[in-house]
Structure 1
């Protein structure tokens, strides 16, 4: 079997042909690669070389090329992402205990909690609150 590494231009051509939409068959890609190689004076690839190049492509890249970004996100995104369609559609609340000490109403030192409400669409701060009581879980 020929080595795919010895075919710089042919390898790029095969990769580009494999990523076309709709997904082509390897036999079609091989015929086109042979035609282009003869036309440009490149080494003519064997069918097995074209097959190895085609199968070496990242499956995620092939899915993105053939099935689109929506299907790619469904399969390869690790978490469910929500995107706000407009202002005030989704708000996000973040709570953190601050790295400072204050005197609590009881007279004892305490670390306060900061709660921030953020509009997901504009990233604007809609409100905030500082308390000595932790937020509910």
Structure 2
């Protein structure tokens, strides 16, 4: 009996003496063994396919997280560059007091620069774990 999926071939051996009843198996038992091997192989193939699918998914997630991290780093660099290039403007008030005002674009969203380094590290670590 042959199984093309398994790669294990079980054939009757003409040199084998079937008269020894203690060591011989019935055809039903032999068929059951072959079916067990086939099922084990199918189960292994299914498990391997599932593992491959999960690995591909995780690789995709890691790649997306890498892009997010790169974008966050670029935002931080841009913000740091903008902050370091700002020059204070001194304005006189009605009462003669000087008020320092920085040239800043209005913030329309939460800035990455407003987060602490620890918060950013935690965000990155959590996004990698997720």
TM-score by length of 2: 0.26
Length-normalised TM-score, structure 1: 0.25
